[in-house]
Chain A
Amino acid sequence: MTTRPPIAMLAELTHRCPLACPYCSNPVDLARQESELDTDAWRDVFRQAADLGVLQLHLSGGEPATRRDLEELVQAARDAGLYTNLITSGIGLTERRLRALDNAGLDHIQLSLQGTTPEMADEIGGYAGGYRRKMMVAEWIGQIGFPLTLNAVLHRRNLHQLPRALEMAVEMGARRIEVATVQFHGWALKNRDALMPTRAQAEEATRIVTEARARLKGTLVIDYVPADYHSDYPKRCMGGWGSTGLNVAPDGTVLPCHAAQTIPHLRFDNLRDKPLSEIWYKGTAFNAYRGTGWMPEPCASCDRKEVDFGGCRCQSMALAGDAAATDPVCVKSPHHSDLQSRAAAHATAADAPLIYRSVPGRATEPAE
């Protein structure tokens, strides 16, 4: 099997974030601020990534705007020849900073949406005034002319707001909306009782998306991540493990996906010790589930094995206790029917409280 160069890199600049979304994709063990790579280290990572073949850079977090050097980092990424996409909640961005990001060459912004009303958005984000601030940021984005994608994260509490989210994307002048039903990794795994959509909600969302795609053709592109637990086939996670993308954590750890650290037997390399190219091509974590050779049955003889690569390794770990097992979302998994009944139970749990994501520790606090 020949390993091809990666196309995309997700740079998690920090785990710090003013919001506390209960479905945050950051690991439950958050990286401390003083462990973050500094400006020069990131600059070097961007150059290495471009040399390796990365074309698309996603600047993420936590909230990337909490990095004071964000403008410098965008400039460095553009200098390296990368397409730069900022994934942000908007909090921490001012009109002045957005203009500086424009001057630095930022290509595109993906703005998250926690809800379509201040009540919903601020409750889910755990941050009072966040929605109002975000709407101001959206307006500045429009004035400057940045291409915009709205990323609406949907779950049982706010799925009824999907039609309004689509309208808002059009009003904001977004070219694209990502309708992302919550995927249960990281903090979301703790919140399945509060966030799991019902099957009826999932079906209604699919109907709304199908109708809106036809109605808004040429105006708004709709990318849709359906409710995973209610599906019959798993998602093509990361386009295949170690095939197209990689993730750099705030401290320089290089991961095949943002949740990979939940697979306990994997060992991850760090950019402080090894070059990116060596990590991508030779790292044991990247090679663990690359291609199809690692697959057991029923994946090994399945005609979909190169369609979805057996689904999500982290989900198999979390739900079946084995990262190499077929993703339990798949109808061919022996855990599938159990997953469906668990999903139904989560979806009908009496209103469970939201468990918010915490903030990364600081050096002044005792280590756990």
Chain B
Amino acid sequence: MSPADIPALPRGVRLHWDRVRETWVLLAPERTVTLDAVAHAILSELDGIRSLGEITETLAAKYHAPPEQIAADSAGFLGALHARRFLDLR
């Protein structure tokens, strides 16, 4: 995954507030992924327009964290979603 990639949730993969467990989840075909605050913050930024690099900058500014740390925190998570085909990269 490179900073130039533009990530987006494909059709059939969506964020959902689980009101019973009081947590955000990612609903995907026959799978549910429980999201922590960081994962939810990252996925909420995906708009199919901005690149991973731009999203990392936005999150870094928003949470006053170094962009390198945001990138490191998100790479494994987004990579795993991509491997399951829950995330498209353009």
B72 close to A (CB within 8 Å): no
**In the assembled complex, which residues on chain A have CB atoms less than 8 Å from the CB atom of B83?**
217-218, 221
A83 close to B (CB within 8 Å): yes
A118 close to B (CB within 8 Å): no
Neighbour of A85 across the interface among B13, B14, B19, B29, CB < 8 A: B29
Once A7-B32, A108-B29 are accepted as A-B contacts, the answer to whether A146 and B16 lie under 8 Å apart by CB is no
For residue B29, give the distance in angstroms from its CB to the closest CB of chain A.
Answer: 4
**In the assembled complex, which residues on chain B have CB atoms less than 8 Å from the CB atom of A218?**
82-83, 85
Once A145-B11, A146-B12 are accepted as A-B contacts, the answer to whether A176 and B32 lie under 8 Å apart by CB is no
Once A108-B12, A147-B10 are accepted as A-B contacts, the answer to whether A52 and B20 lie under 8 Å apart by CB is yes
Chain B 1-33: CB-based contact to A (< 8 A → 1; otherwise 0): 000000000111110101111000101011010
Would A147 and B30 count as touching, CB distance under 8 A?
Answer: no
A56 close to B (CB within 8 Å): yes
Would B12 and A51 count as touching, CB distance under 8 A?
Answer: no
Would B29 and A176 count as touching, CB distance under 8 A?
Answer: yes
* A to B CB contacts below 8 Å, 29 in the list: A5-B20, A5-B21, A55-B27, A55-B32, A56-B30, A81-B16, A83-B16, A83-B27, A85-B30, A107-B12, A107-B14, A107-B27, A108-B12, A108-B30, A110-B29, A146-B11, A147-B11, A147-B12, A147-B13, A147-B29, A149-B29, A149-B30, A175-B10, A175-B29, A175-B85, A218-B82, A218-B85, A221-B84, A221-B85
Task: Name which residue of chain B comes closest to A54, CB basis.
Answer: B20
**In the assembled complex, which residues on chain B have CB atoms less than 8 Å from the CB atom of A7?**
32
Question: CB within 8 Å of B: which of A165-192?
Answer: 175-176
Chain A 133-161: CB-based contact to B (< 8 A → 1; otherwise 0): 00000000000011101000000000000
Tell me the dominant secondary structure on chain B's binding face.
loop
Would B30 and A51 count as touching, CB distance under 8 A?
Answer: no
Chain B 31-47: CB-based contact to A (< 8 A → 1; otherwise 0): 01000000000000000
| 10 residue pairs, one from A and one from B, having the closest CB atoms | A147-B12, A53-B20, A108-B29, A175-B85, A83-B27, A108-B12, A107-B12, A55-B32, A147-B29, A221-B85
Would A55 and B29 count as touching, CB distance under 8 A?
Answer: no
**In the assembled complex, which residues on chain B have CB atoms less than 8 Å from the CB atom of A107?**
12, 14, 27, 29
For residue B24, give the distance in angstroms from its CB to the closest CB of chain A.
Answer: 12
A345–B20 alpha-carbon span in the complex (Å): 49
**In the assembled complex, which residues on chain A have CB atoms less than 8 Å from the CB atom of B85?**
175-176, 218, 220-221
Once A218-B83, A221-B84 are accepted as A-B contacts, the answer to whether A51 and B32 lie under 8 Å apart by CB is no
For residue A7, give the distance in angstroms from its CB to the closest CB of chain B.
Answer: 6
Task: Name which residue of chain B comes closest to A223, CB basis.
Answer: B30
For residue B19, give the distance in angstroms from its CB to the closest CB of chain A.
Answer: 8
A53–B19 alpha-carbon span in the complex (Å): 8
Task: Name which residue of chain A comes closest to B18, CB basis.
Answer: A55
Task: Name which residue of chain B comes closest to A4, CB basis.
Answer: B21
For residue B28, give the distance in angstroms from its CB to the closest CB of chain A.
Answer: 8
A55–B27 alpha-carbon span in the complex (Å): 8
**In the assembled complex, which residues on chain A have CB atoms less than 8 Å from the CB atom of B20?**
5, 51-53
For residue B12, give the distance in angstroms from its CB to the closest CB of chain A.
Answer: 3
Task: Name which residue of chain A comes closest to B31, CB basis.
Answer: A56
Chain A 217-238: CB-based contact to B (< 8 A → 1; otherwise 0): 1101100000000000000000
Task: Name which residue of chain B comes closest to A219, CB basis.
Answer: B85
Which residue, of A5, A52, A147, A220, has the highest number of chain B Cβ atoms within 10 A? A147
For residue B15, give the distance in angstroms from its CB to the closest CB of chain A.
Answer: 12
A17–B89 alpha-carbon span in the complex (Å): 39
For residue A47, give the distance in angstroms from its CB to the closest CB of chain B.
Answer: 13
Task: Name which residue of chain B comes closest to A83, CB basis.
Answer: B27
